[in-house]
Structure 1
Amino acid sequence: MVRSDSKNPDLDWSQVRETVKLLNLSAAQVDALMQESELSVNTLTESFTNIAESMQLIHDHLLALDTSDTKDEVLDCCADTHAKFQKAIIAFQFYDRMQQCLQHVTSNLRNLSALVENPDRLYNPKEWLDFQSQIRSRYTMESEKLMFDAILQGKSIEDAIAMRDAHETIESNDIELF
Structure 2
Amino acid sequence: MSQQQRHTLGGYGKTADHEVDWSQVGETLTMLALAIAQIDTSLHEGNQSINKLTSSFTAMADNSQKLVQLAAAHKDDLPQKTGEIASELQQEIQQAIIAFQFYDRLTQRLEHVGDSLERMGHLIGNAEQRYKAGAWNSLQQHIKSNYTMEAERIMFEHIMAGHSVAEALEIYRHHFDKQAQDTFGTNDDIEFF
Match of 1:154 among 151, 162, 165: 162
Aligned residues: 172
- Higher share in helix: 1
Which residue is 2:8 aligned to? none
How many angstroms does 1:124 deviate by?
1.4
Report which of the two structures shows the higher radius of gyration computed on alpha carbons: 1
Which residue is 2:107 aligned to? 99
What per-residue deviation string (whole Å, max 9, x for no partner) do you get for residues 128-156 of structure 1? 12211221122121111111112222222
Gaps of 5+ in 2: 1-12, 188-193
What is the alpha-carbon distance in structure 2 between the residues aligned to residue 150 and residue 126 of structure 1?
A: 20
What is the alpha-carbon distance in structure 1 between the residues aligned to residue 113 and residue 176 of structure 2?
A: 19
Which residue is 2:119 aligned to? 111
Match of 1:84 among 93, 118, 137: 93
What is the alpha-carbon distance in structure 1 between the residues aligned to residue 76 and residue 62 of structure 2?
A: 23
What is the alpha-carbon distance in structure 2 between the residues aligned to residue 107 and residue 33 of structure 1?
A: 14
How many angstroms does 1:81 deviate by?
0.8
Which residue is 1:45 aligned to? 55
How many angstroms does 1:51 deviate by?
2.2
Q: Aligned AA for 2:15? A: S
What per-residue deviation string (whole Å, max 9, x for no partner) do you get for residues 40-90 of structure 1? 3333333222222323333443454216x72343133213212312321x1
In the superposition, the TM-score normalised over structure 1's length comes to 0.82
Q: Aligned AA for 2:75? A: L
How many angstroms does 1:22 deviate by?
1.0
CA distance 1:60–1:134, change in 2 (3 Å): closer
Which residue is 1:36 aligned to? 45
What percentage of aligned pairs have identical amino acids? 29
Q: In angstroms, what is the RMSD of aligned CA positions?
A: 2.6
What is the alpha-carbon distance in structure 1 between the residues aligned to residue 43 and residue 58 of structure 2?
A: 22
Which residue is 1:14 aligned to? 23
SS of match in other structure, 2:128? helix
Q: Aligned AA for 1:141? A: M
Q: Aligned AA for 2:51? A: V
How many angstroms does 1:26 deviate by?
0.7
Match of 1:25 among 20, 29, 34: 34
